[in-house]
Structure 1
């Protein structure tokens, strides 16, 4: 099993979730987050609207799912297909190995 975590701009969230669900993945965790990377941070107006300053962080979404190894490449291709604009700040995908999971309700371990 693999954990796929994707950090993307908020405006790509629905597209990414739909792309993952279309592959047949049911369990998805979404977290609102803030961060800085290569992407351009938005300009903000002051309270009076007389000056602008750069936002300290971008508003991002983290999408995480655990899948069987044979689905990883299809999910990555689907995410890149809907989220990539070719610009810096499109996001990142992280893939890591999961040794096992434990269902809290049933207490069953799954490798």
Structure 2
């Protein structure tokens, strides 16, 4: 496959492109937690261990700007922010599920106990 550019970055495969959008430590866990419900920032923060506010905010912003999530600001005191998954985000769930299942399978074969 020929290389291609997106956002001034060169990619060599579609898989590389996908992982630039949903890869990393936090994006897939965020999408997974939003697959069935609308979630507030504080709920996400509590449910993802070891994520800093900076990293969570950065990943949420990127997922929103890439169209995987929608951010809704509710004007009340205090202001409430809710995140929901979009159709584009929902389309990533089967891929995340397959990677998750494969990860569990590898962990089992390597003798790693899942928590």
TM, length-normalised to structure 1 = 0.23
TM, length-normalised to structure 2 = 0.23
- Between Structure 1 and Structure 2, the one with more strand by share is 1
- Between Structure 1 and Structure 2, the one with more helix by share is 2
For CA contacts below 8 A with separation 6 or more, give which structure has more relative contact order.
1
Query: If you compute each CA radius of gyration, which structure gives the higher value, 1 or 2?
Result: 1
